[in-house]
Amino acid sequence: MATVARAIALAGAFHHCSHITIRSPRRLYHSCRAIYNPKVQIKEEGQPQTLDYRVFLVDHSGKKVSPWHDIPLHLGDGVFNFVVEIPKDTSAKMEVATDELYTPIKQDTKKGKLRYYPYNINWNYGLLPQTWEDPSFSNPEVEGALGDNDPVDVVEIGERQRRIGQILKVKPLAALAMIDEGEIDWKIVAISLDDPTASLVNDVDDVEKHFPGTLVAIRDWFIDYKIPDGKPANWFALGNKVANKDYALKIINETNESWAKLMKRSIPAGDLSLL
């Protein structure tokens, strides 16, 4: 694991942005028992900013469904579903409860207290359904780091603030390989198709052109946010570079395959809820 000093030094290097580029092969995405036309509604239980607060998704009949397992990942033509956990310009650390039935979204806790980021996150943040970062897989491309046992994270850079539990159609643009306490925690940079600038951005270079400084800001934010809590700074693998769209699609495909193995019980689930 990098030291705080090393990670902070890396943050400075990010101001000169460099990219990793790969070409994308044809891919097959896995989906189990997914709602292929997800007409779901958001159902809140409890009061926000309390330990009991949960955000569920329910189908047309009122049945609870999992935002992690039941919402399809791939919609075709490079478009994916994205579930919002943390709306833009908020600080409550919301996340899918991967160990609870139907995996609702809740506010994270530490020692029985609700967790907040030290400052607002500047983008909509959430997960790609039907993905999983396998904690038993040592990835040689990111210095052998193991997966963090969670779905893949998305940073959606559009201009609008979204709602907890909202499902957006997004297109991936780039990937960042964040190392958090020795584990790989992929960040897929994406934009919602209904954003006014969506047609202008299709890959990492377009992000630099139409959202100048955004990739640097994302990396700096994720490097620094744990420091006020006395934890080491995070850092980034892949030679501190931002990977392009095709690399992001590769990561999505690989973590979707890991999720499929998890759902088939080919990999032990541990405390994870598969319902």
Structural contact between residues 53 and 46, judged by C-beta atoms closer than 8 angstroms: yes
Please indicate whether residue 116 is annotated as part of the active site. no
Q: Reduce the secondary structure of the chain to three states and give it as a string.
A: CCCHHHHHHHHHHCCCCCEECCCCCCCCCCCCCCCCCCCCEEEEECCCCCCCCEEEEECCCCCEECCCCCCCCEEECCEEEEEEEECCCEEECEEECCCCCCCCEEECEECCEECEEEEEECCEEEEECCCCCCCCCEEHHHCCEEECCCCEEEEECCCCCCCCCCEEEEEEEEEEEEEECCEEEEEEEEEECCCCCHHHCCCHHHHHHHCCCHHHHHHHHHHHCCHHHCCCCCEECHHHCEECHHHHHHHHHHHHHHHHHHHCCCCCCCCCCCC
Q: Of 117, 119, 125, 225, which is the active-site residue? A: 117
What b-and-e string marks burial along 260-271, b requiring 16 or more CB atoms within 10 Å of the CB? bebbeeebeeee
Structural contact between residues 165 and 42, judged by C-beta atoms closer than 8 angstroms: yes
Active site residues: 117
